[in-house]
Structures are given as structure tokens and as C-alpha cells.
Amino acid sequence: MMNLFLVKRVVAALLKRIKVLVPPFREGGLGGISTTAPVSMQTPLNKKIIGLQRLFHRVTAKSIGVEIPPSPPSRKGGTTAVIQALMLFVALAAAPQTQATPTPPIIRIGVSTAGVGNPPRTPGGWSAVAQEHRYVEDEFAKEGVKVEWIFFKAQGPAVNEALSNNQLDFTTLGDLPSIIGRSVGLDTRIVLVAGRRGNAYIAVRPDSGIKTVADLRGKRLALNKGTASQLAANRIFATFGLAEKDVRIINMDPATAKAALLSGDVDAFINSFDLLRLQEEGKVRVIYNTKDFPIATYQAHLLVNQKFAQAYPEATTRVVKAMVRAAHWSSEPQNRDAVFKMWGDAGGIREVDYRKEYEGIPFAERLSPQIDPFIIAIDKQSVADAYKFKLIRKPFDVDAWIDRRYLDAALKELKLENYWPRFDAQGKLLAKS
């Protein structure tokens, strides 16, 4: 809004220039202005203003967004057109100035996996539902905004490179690659949780002499460095008295690592529960999983590129809202079978394996987008552990990395503030407020 006092001063100066007598301004606006200038003294400037006034009056109050104040009476009982036109100017100038919020021409969403199928699909989590049901696309359909889902075979490191080159606006990303990116200066913010408590599995060949994690000393373990698997591996090693340097780490993407394990080119492989299928087929033997070790489970975030968030704050809120809607649909008990089927149909992991992994676990606990005390605590611990294991060069403030505004706005608008369960820093269920 323009400074009303300044506008009054400008009007006063204009009126004096055209010889109109103006008494002192009073609190309460311009309603006290009067004039003794007779109509017969109208100058060419007066006549131009009168013409402008008539033009303005053809514009309705609705179209200009303000209510035009009544013209003040003159001491002669008439109405001065000059004053009326200038008062209209003041009303317009003092009205709130609204500008259309900019809308991005395209929204680029990264997915830290190669995806499955053609075109690629997100294999699991509520993000699979968001992509399949086109929640983000529908949110921006009226504006014609293009939405791109971009998949990365090289996972976290490739996503971070894309972020550094400003090629992504949002991305789902595991805890360690998110932390590595932030630690080297990538200007991202955590806007919601994309996954929580994902279990890690370590598998070996069926005929291997490796029985426990301790037996991995000096052995070849395949993992994708810079991903959540590396942080999980280091945490698991520590519980068995090992460090990463005690194991021969072979850096491979999951597909290559799986083939290497089957061919005997590596001794072990750490990944998610997709290894259960290979165990069922008799091709591998699982020696460890993190079901009883929550601190070593995978967490994932939805990150926003701050350049996008600052340029398009409203669009950022709408993207987060669309994702929250997908998480809500995924969490509803009546949609559980449909979600399992969608995940299984994607082709990466069988539906039966998803059902085994989530047996007895409500989706609302695993698919919650909430940034609760457990997520904050484990993210802080992850930063500390990544530094301890020399996976990052310096720690940073997790609280400053989290931006709750978009999630809070979405939860409030959708009336979902208390829908998902929340967990304390130790992972125990908090009572609903």
C-alpha cells in the first residue's frame, strides 16, 4: 500500500497549484477537504481532470478493488470535480497493491533411483502414489505447468550434482546424500519426510562361510557410496566392532552389485528388502537386517531447492500440499491393498515382498510426511555419525535445514494436523494432542 500521508501531501500540493483552497488535513482521511473555487473559474486543467473523472467513474468499484469515497461538498453547496477526481486517485493509490504470484513454467522433481518400467516409475512409498495419481500435475493443471519426474540410476551422488547445477526444484533423497549435499553447501531445505524406518539387509552367497557381520572383516562388500546404504553400513559395522576400513568396500550401484554378488565377484551386498526375493529363490542368504536396530534404518526427505522456493513460494506450498495429499491417500487403511498392488505392478519388487516387509505395520506409521521429534533426532544423529565416520568434513545445524512452513500450511488447509502418529526422539509413539 502506498503511504497515505505522502499521498495527502501530494494532493495538497496539486490543489494549491490550481488555486484551490485546502484547509489543514485532519485525522480521518480527506473527508474534511472543501473548496471555494466556483465552477466559473475552471481552468483547462480543471476540464481535463473532469474528463478523467468521468472516465474513472465508468470503472466499477469491483473492477478496481476499492470503494470510491463520496465527494466532499463545497461551501457553496456544489461538488468540485477536481476534488472528486483527486480523491479517486487517492483511493486507488492507497488501495492494497496486489500482484499475481509468479508460477513456474516447469517443476522438476528428482527421484534418487533408476526407476522401473518405461516411462520410469517410482517403485515405492507415497511418492509412487503422487506420481501415479498425478497429484502435482493436477494441482497445476489450470496454469499449464509442466511437471517432470527425473530418475537417477547413480542415486544420491547424481541427484546432488543435479541440485548443484540447479537442474532440480524438488527431490526425494535418502538421509546420507541429503546430509552430504547440505554439508558441502547445497542450498536445500527439508520440507517433509519422504520415507522413514526403511530396513537395510546384508546378503551373502548361499555357500559363503560368512555367518555374521563380524565375519565381513577383510571381505568385499558392495554398496553405493554416498547413499543411505553407506551410513547404515557404518552404523552396523560399529555394533560389531568394525569400521569401514576393516571391510573392502566396492562402490557399485544396486543393479550392478546384485549381479556381482550372484557371480561371486563380491562377497556381500547391503541393500533393502528386495534381497528377500533372491533368498527365497535360493540365490543369496540374508545374514542381517535392521528390524531390531532402528538407528540404522533408512530415512528419506523431500528437499526443495531454495532458489525455487524463494522465487515461487506459493508454488512450493502447493507442491508440498499435493505430496501431503498423496501421503494421506496412501495412509488410509482402505487403500492399503491398492497401494501394495501399485508398488508391485511397478516391477522393481514383488507385491508379496512388500506385504511381508509391512506386515503388522500401519501405513500411517511408515508413510507419514510429518517432521516429528524422531525424524529430527535421527537426522541430528545422522549428521553426527556421518562426521564421526568421516563421510562429511564438517557437521551443520539440522534445525536451520528444516523449513516447516510449507508442511504446516498444507496440513492446516487439508485439516490433517493430527492425522498421522508422531514419535518421540527414541521412536516411541506419542499420545495425540
Higher pLDDT, 433 or 86: 433
pLDDT tens for each residue of 352-382: 999 999 999 999 999 999 999 999 999 999 9
Domain borders along the chain are: 4-94, 107-197+299-413, 201-295
Q: Is the pLDDT of residue 55 over 70?
A: no
Residue 348 is predicted with a pLDDT of 79
Q: Same topology for domains 107-197+299-413 and 201-295, yes or no?
A: yes
pLDDT exceeds 70 at position 222: yes
pLDDT score of 35 more than 90: no
Which pLDDT belongs to residue 142? 96
Note the pLDDT of residue 84. Answer: 54
How confident is the model over 57-68, as a mean pLDDT? 42
Q: Tens of pLDDT along 133-168?
A: 999 999 999 999 999 999 998 889 999 999 999 999
Q: Is the pLDDT of residue 129 over 50?
A: yes
Asked if 248 contacts 273 with a C-beta cutoff of 8 angstroms, the reply is: no
Residue 87 is predicted with a pLDDT of 54
What is the average per-residue pLDDT within 185-195? 97
Average pLDDT of the residues of the chain: 83
pLDDT per residue as tens digits for the range 383-394: 999 999 999 999
What pLDDT is stored for residue 43 in this prediction?
53
- In which band, very low, low, confident or very high, does the pLDDT at 66 lie, cut at 50, 70 and 90? very low
Q: Is the pLDDT of residue 22 over 50?
A: no
Higher-scoring residue by pLDDT: 75, 147: 147
**Cβ within 8 Å of residue 289, ≥6 positions away:** 199, 200, 201, 202, 273
pLDDT at 82 over 80: no
Identify which has the larger pLDDT, 87 or 124: 124
Instruction: Say what the pLDDT of residue 123 is.
Output: 84
Report, at the CATH architecture level, how domain 107-197+299-413 is classified.
3-Layer(aba) Sandwich (3.40)
CATH topology of domain 201-295: D-Maltodextrin-Binding Protein; domain 2 (3.40.190)
Q: What is the per-residue pLDDT for 300?
A: 95
The percent of residues above 70 in pLDDT, for the chain, comes to: 77
Res. 64 pLDDT band, cuts 50 70 90: very low
Q: For 277-313, write each residue's pLDDT tens digit.
A: 999 999 999 999 999 898 899 999 999 999 999 999 9
The answer to whether the beta carbons of residues 121 and 149 sit under 8 Å apart is no
Confidence class for position 3, pLDDT limits 50, 70, 90: very low
* Per-residue pLDDT band at 83 (split at 50, 70, 90): low
In tens, the pLDDT along 308-354 reads 999 999 999 999 999 999 999 999 999 999 999 999 998 778 999 99
